[in-house]
Structure 1
Amino acid sequence: MKIVTGGAGFIGSRIVSKLNDMGDSDILVVDDLREGIKMRNLANVEIADFMDADDFLHRLKMGEDFGDIEAVFHMGACSSTTEWDGRYLMRRNYEYSKELLHWSARNNSSLIYASSASVYGDGNRGFSEDAAAEYPINMYAYSKYQFDQYVRRFLPKAKAQVVGLRFFNVYGPHEAHKGSMASVAFHANNQINDTGAIRLFGASGNNAAGEQKRDFVYVDDCADVAAWLFENPDISGVFNLGTGKAETFNVLAQSVIDWHGRGVIEYIPFPDHLKNSYQSFTEADLSNLRAAGYTAPFRDVREGVFAYLNWLNGSAAAAK
């Protein structure tokens, strides 16, 4: 059996779908469904069982036997980069992850968990998986950074696979429940449908309007990497997961406009509350992932946006 925490969420549900594509439905999904709309992300997948996230943690601590667990894909966490309740974030993103790390180690199960490119802060130190490049500038990033540090100290004595994936700016199917934290592609599509205009941040720092750049990576490419790592259990470490090429918000917005065949871009003033905690540039250094043996290409922004909007707007009924 495999366990996917956050399995009703964005990336987690796509990993479940990927496992199904590989012929595997012996999956325990762990999540918090108080936000019941997330059940839609599980409507078209096959799983063996579901368990509430808090119940799962309690059973881990009580030493419950879950049987033969090949791997845990730990995607469950608070993913809000604007959350500043440090006590909550450290409990949910750090302590929960530590419990799962030690439980996986005792059971000789692979652990593939979600880290975040937010650990690189403003990016002035680069984007390689190295302590010299890491400087979190918000509480969410700090919670992810601290668990990565804990894993690095743990790895020399680890007997089973442990992998952290530093997701860059992920977009794609099954993110609607994230609300304001959903991707720019998601919001841009809605804005075109509603008003015909995509709203982007105006000029900030040294960036012209809409010229802030991010490494936008399609969610199914991320699921492919997670599945490949599971199939290569001798690989451990912390790896960046992006495309390796930053694109501007203007390029992404124009891709949405091109898909619809209509629309304009409007710029709004850059919010004051984000000025000291916003990443204006991200670009994954994929050297370590490629050196580990992952050779598959990643979708570029236009290709990914078109695939996503086909799914999002219902014009690709075969898409899952």
Structure 2
Amino acid sequence: MIIVTGGAGFIGSNLIHQLNALGKRNILVVDNLAPAPNLSGPKFLNLQAAQYADYMDKLDFLEALLEGDFDDTEIEAIFHQGACSNTLEDDGRYMMHNNYDYSKVLLHYAVDNKIPLIYASTAATYGLSEVFKEVPANEKPLNVYGFSKLVFDNYLRRRIENIDSAVVGLRYFNVYGPREQHKGRMASVIHHFTKQLKDTGTIRMFEGSGGYADGEQRRDFVFVKDLCRINLFFAGLLPDSPKEPVQAIVNAGTGNARTFKAVAEALMAVHGEGKIEYIPFPGDLKNRYQHFTEADVAGLRAAGYTAPFTSLEEGIKQTFAEEPVK
């Protein structure tokens, strides 16, 4: 069995579809399908046409894990994609319980049973740092989401030398692709810009901020299918996967930052021409917004992952070939 937490979400559901493409069907999907004010649609639609063996609510799964219900189950890998990723969520107690405590339980279970654990960390651990290398000096989260992920990364760091099974934390940068329509405000700018372009013919982006001119803020946009491949690689499920299990926390980004203007241009190449309008920077994002991100991929390459990344232009083409905008 393969376990995917957050399996109905954006990255988790894409991972399940890619596991299916590898012929994997014995998959346990773990998620929370309760209504949430930050979601703009149902997550379960992401699993249409996916093949999996079972589904469990995340709280039921955690209880079953702690009670030993999986002790006789042969588990090939655990992909821990489940978390509250709302960067505007300020309930620190909820965030730590949901993102930190839950992850610790999974880590100990996976290590004790020598099961590969590949989990989602985030570039939000870096905050306003302009150096995105996986060392503590660069880690300055601006929100409790980034803090919750960093605390777990540090929990793993204190134990990593005593682990001999695969445990890899992937610091996701700005992920985009199909199956993110439910994410509301937390969806990628690719998703938001597309809706604006289709609805109004105009893409609205922030005026200059953080020392960058209008539309020149830069992000490391990474295609979700590339991220899924990195997950599968470190879990030992690909022909080029490492021969020995890896223990590491590495960046999962392209290493090539692109401007918001470049995103708009790539979208117009797919959907048709439109206008760009610059809008004032939102007050609720002040002091919690990353104006620039660019993964240092040296750690990822040193850990053995050498595959190229999909370009922004090609990733956008693939996204809307698979998920046409209505």
TM-score by shorter chain over 0.5: yes
Look up the SS of the partner of 1:200 in the other structure.
strand
Paired position in structure 2 for 1:224: 229
Paired position in structure 1 for 2:129: 123
Pick which of 43-52 and 151-160 moved more: 151-160
In structure 2, how many angstroms separate the alpha carbons of the residues matched to 1:156 and 1:116? Answer: 22
Look up the SS of the partner of 1:257 in the other structure.
helix
2:193 to 188, 192, 207: 188
In structure 2, how many angstroms separate the alpha carbons of the residues matched to 1:312 and 1:187? Answer: 14
Q: Determine what percentage of the aligned residue pairs are the same residue.
A: 51
Paired position in structure 2 for 1:151: 156
Check whether the contact 1:189–1:309 (CA below 8 A) recurs between aligned residues.
Answer: no
2:303 to 283, 292, 306: 292
Look up the SS of the partner of 1:170 in the other structure.
strand
1:86 aligns with 2:56: no
1:6-55 per-position Cα deviation (integer Å, ceiling 9, x unaligned) = 01101011111111111111110100112482111111111011100010
Paired position in structure 1 for 2:289: 278
1:15 aligns with 2:15: yes
1:238-287 per-position Cα deviation (integer Å, ceiling 9, x unaligned) = 01001110001111011111211221111100112212111000000111
Check whether the contact 2:166–2:234 (CA below 8 A) recurs between aligned residues.
Answer: no
Paired position in structure 2 for 1:77: 83
1:156-202 per-position Cα deviation (integer Å, ceiling 9, x unaligned) = 11131110000000000111111110000001111111000011011
In structure 2, how many angstroms separate the alpha carbons of the residues matched to 1:159 and 1:220? Answer: 28
Unaligned runs of 5+ in 2: 36-40, 237-241
Check whether the contact 2:163–2:247 (CA below 8 A) recurs between aligned residues.
Answer: no
Q: Give the counterpart letter for 2:59 in structure 1.
A: D
In structure 1, how many angstroms separate the alpha carbons of the residues matched to 2:314 and 2:202? Answer: 21
Look up the SS of the partner of 2:289 in the other structure.
coil
Question: What is the Cα deviation at residue 312 of structure 1?
Answer: 2.5
Pick which of 187-196 and 257-266 moved more: 257-266
Check whether the contact 2:28–2:55 (CA below 8 A) recurs between aligned residues.
Answer: yes
TM-score normalised according to structure 1 size? 0.95
In structure 1, how many angstroms separate the alpha carbons of the residues matched to 2:234 and 2:140? Answer: 27
Question: What is the Cα deviation at residue 314 of structure 1?
Answer: 6.2
In structure 1, how many angstroms separate the alpha carbons of the residues matched to 2:293 and 2:315? Answer: 18
Q: Give the counterpart letter for 1:307 in structure 2.
A: Q
Query: For residues 1-320 of structure 1, what are the structure 2 equivalents within 5 Å?
Result: 1-35=1-35, 37-65=42-70, 67-124=73-130, 126-231=131-236, 232=242, 234-313=245-324
Unaligned runs of 5+ in 1: 316-320
Pick which of 91-100 and 28-37 moved more: 28-37
Check whether the contact 1:172–1:308 (CA below 8 A) recurs between aligned residues.
Answer: yes
In structure 2, how many angstroms separate the alpha carbons of the residues matched to 1:314 and 1:77? Answer: 27
Check whether the contact 2:7–2:30 (CA below 8 A) recurs between aligned residues.
Answer: yes
TM-score normalised according to structure 2 size? 0.94
**Equivalent residues, number:** 314
Check whether the contact 2:207–2:213 (CA below 8 A) recurs between aligned residues.
Answer: yes
In structure 2, how many angstroms separate the alpha carbons of the residues matched to 1:32 and 1:137? Answer: 26
Question: What is the Cα deviation at residue 65 of structure 1?
Answer: 2.4
Paired position in structure 2 for 1:318: none
Look up the SS of the partner of 2:169 in the other structure.
strand
Cα RMSD for the two superposed structures: 1.3
